[in-house]
Chain A
Amino acid sequence: MKHTFILIISLLLLACLTFSTPNSPNEKENGIAIKAGKIFTVSGNTIENGTILVSGEKILEVGLSDSISIPQDYTVYEYPGSTVYPGIINAMTNLGISGISAIDTTNDYREAGQFNPHISAYTAFYPWSNLIPNARDFGVLTAVTAPSGGLISGKALVANLLGWVPEDMFIKNELALVMNIPEPPSNPRWARFQSSNPADQKEKLEHFISCAYSYYLNSINNPSFPTPNDFDIKYEAMKPTWKDRLPVIISAENEESIKYAIQLGKKFKLNVILKGAYDGEKVLKEIKESGCPVILSSMYGSNSKWEDGVDKIFRLPAALAREGIPFAFTTAGAAGAFDLPLHAGRAVAYGLSQDEAIKGLTLYPAKILGIDQYGSIEKGKIANLVITDGNILENSTLVQHIFIKGIEVTDKSFFQKEFNRAEQKISGEYR
């Protein structure tokens, strides 16, 4: 009996030992807690003196500091005078596929030809671009990278702005198809510089999409389709549009184009996201009915016609907010991608509330782009956090700390490194 008893206890001890093997250094057993003066959850109320608990990549809990108990082994970051925002999402850039504008060999965002659905940004993404850490410095933690040009530019991706190799960064490597509606230039004086007729181009676009649609239908109805003869790489690339309801981001600026884009979506059963929508104010009803959200153009723009008024593009976000149409802010290009919060700030001057502006930087883009684990500070979402010393919509605010997927990013950006070098007058290799 005793021998059995000792045997059972030793077996149990052995079991305990087995199951209490020390953790490998790579596993984060301990979570982190962030305590801050203000937390903008975006999806809920703003919390004064709150705490966020993060375990792994995800947010465990968020609430008033008084009502949250921080587990013992958690690392605590205290930012008493600071504000925490969800990581900002830039809904359309060409970060990672663009370099210096004037040097063509550094730029990969514009492929030749009009129809390129088979071209994907993720195949040419450069994680070591110094524009990426610069964007992080100012709170932009997630960005969409999209090709441009032609009628169908290619496929966009969405990525977190932290990682050594591209796969580390991608959230979705094929986020959406990018399409552009051809239109006459907004200023009739420039009409003579346009090389092709927009009406012709529209016909070609529609024809292409309908061919792609019938290709898709063939492929699901006909098991032997496509034969080597029928195989078309472009139409193959269009299949996810219907198979997986891959969103189609359609750039349309004037009234006619916006209506045409919506109609195109209905006709070919596309999951349409409108981009630009310069004349969106005039077709708010149609946009609302269609259920299409809007990705806005950069707020650093101008009106193209005198009758539109000097504040034409700045009025649009407020108009969309009033109608309950989700919208997202973007910058143009990549070198200015870090400036996104101020674009939202500009819209606030023209009728958009600050709350809606912050939603347009966080919650709404997450919803529009289908990356619902991002965009707000709530339980279960990915811990992308920006800690600032004030209102992120103000241009005097400094971003103090950033967390991407629960890890604090302490890498210095090019901007910061260059400053240190100049301060200490260190010469030599700078990149």
Chain B
Amino acid sequence: MKIKIKIITTCFLCLGMTLFFTSLGFGANRLLLKNARIYTFDRGVLDGYDLLIRNGKIDTIAKNIQPPPNVPFIDLTGKSVIPGIIDSHNHIALYGDMNEGTENVTPEVKMEYLVDADEPSIYYILSGGVTMIHTMHGSANPIGGENVTIKMKWGKNPDELIETRALRTLKMALGENPIQKTPSFPNTRMGVSSVIEKAYLDAIAYRKLQDKWNKASKQEKEKMIPPAKNYRLEALLDTLDQKMVIRCHSYRADETLELIRLSKKFGFKVAAFEHLHQAYRIADQLSANHIGISIFADSWNYKAEASEFTPWGLKLLYQKGVEISLNSDTSEAMRRLYTEAGKLRRYAGMSDLDALKTITLNPAKLLGMEKYTGSIEIGKDADLAVFDGHPLSSMSKCVLTIIEGEIYFDRSKDPYVGVK
């Protein structure tokens, strides 16, 4: 009896101790950031606040948080903390060619198989405060492949980078790039539109066959030809079933309107148009259809279709409520995405926080990740970037990048950086 009591008490004690220590936050990814200027979207800019991270998530934002024992803390006096920057259009961290342009419709290829976590550009963009990217198929064909969202966890293996919580997205491309396959079809924008139309008609016919087969009885099946599985058309059907959204590369307003017409005709959802230099001409239509844009702030004139553009057009888009996300398309521009966002203050008359949203919350929404990241709110992933000055100014630089509570870039500890 005594032995039994002893055993039971020891068990309870052990359980109690475990619970106690766990409550203290013994686990991975704990960090306390002290005395920073924190940019939140729901509570505004909080000066001199502390931020506690637990289990990789934002736990508390308050003044003078008592540091729990054994939690490392960093003094960020004079520094600003913003949500980790999200770049929703680029082609880095992919092994080999990301452009399957040999056929017009290739939605069966997936970028998630090509993720290359060793690429140095991941580290370079961490030094610019970028924590998550949407890396994409190229724009060589009208319907490209499936893209992938990855977090910039430098040093981890590729499977740990892939964000499974993000929306599945399919790349489409309009304009000059898909028509460069002269003399093969398509050679014109008309052809591009018909390629997309035909692809969806094929997919719908395939579904009809499958439905017919599935609904048939056993005897009927004996007299039918079973449909062959086609991965390409299955991927297209996923977009019709709202399991995957479209991210479409386009520059001109007319081809964009044409794709909006096709999307309504067949029922697939376009989440955003990429680049879309002429977005300012169709601000009404974009906002009426709840389609966002993922653009450069003012990089232009490198192609004929990019030669009609004005950065002041962002004002029109902002006024009409179109959700603007900024992207870079290259690792070099990704490092200064925060300065590009800062320019929106003069182009569109945005406030600091709204300009910040274009590189944080808005791209997160496009990827379906706004519940998990994109802003500094309690319960969200601790994806943060720390700047040594105003986070939108060219004259600041990123000094610390944190993803899910782990520090992946620390300027003071980088062995090759000249200015710490």
Contacts and interface: CB of A to CB of B under 8 A. Distances in A.
Q: Do A and B come into direct contact in the complex, CB within 8 Å? A: yes
Interface of A: 99-103, 131, 281, 300-303, 306-312, 314-315, 318, 334-336, 338-339, 342, 345-346, 348-351, 354, 393-398, 414-416, 418-419, 422-423, 430
A302 B124 contact: yes
B395 A393 contact: yes
A396 B342 contact: yes
Given A396-B346, A419-B280, A422-B281, A414 B310 contact: yes
A102 B304 contact: yes
B418 A311 contact: yes
Contacts of B127: 310-311
Nearest to A281: B418
A422 B280 contact: yes
Given A301-B332, A311-B419, A395 B312 contact: no
B346 A395 contact: yes
B345 A395 contact: yes
B319 to A, nearest CB: 10
Given A301-B332, A351-B419, A102 B302 contact: yes
Interface in B404-419: 414, 416-419
Contacts of B303: 100-103
Interface stretch (B138-146, B293-301, B372-380): B293-301
Interface string B333-346: 10110010011011
Contact of A346 (B124, B302, B310, B339): B339
- Size category of the B interface is 35 or more
11 contacts: A100-B302, A103-B303, A131-B301, A314-B419, A335-B299, A345-B393, A395-B345, A396-B393, A398-B346, A414-B310, A416-B312
A310 B416 contact: yes
A198 B301 CA distance: 33
Given A100-B304, A103-B304, A394-B394, A415 B346 contact: no
B321 interface: no
Given A350-B397, A396-B342, A315 B419 contact: yes
Given A394-B395, A430-B308, A300 B418 contact: no
A396 B300 contact: no
Contacts of A415: 309-312
B307 interface: yes
B350 to A, nearest CB: 9
B310 A422 contact: yes
A306 B332 contact: no
A349 B395 contact: yes
Contacts of B414: 309-310
Given A102-B303, A311-B419, A416-B310, 9 more contacts: A102-B176, A309-B414, A310-B335, A311-B417, A338-B298, A342-B339, A346-B339, A350-B397, A395-B394
A111 B312 CA distance: 35
Contacts of B309: 415, 418
Contacts of B120: 306
A318 B418 CA distance: 11
B396 interface: yes
B331 A302 contact: yes
Nearest to A422: B280
8 residue pairs, one from A and one from B, having the closest CB atoms: A345-B394, A309-B416, A335-B301, A419-B312, A418-B310, A396-B345, A395-B342, A101-B302
A100 B307 CA distance: 7
Contacts of A310: 123-124, 127, 335, 414, 416-417
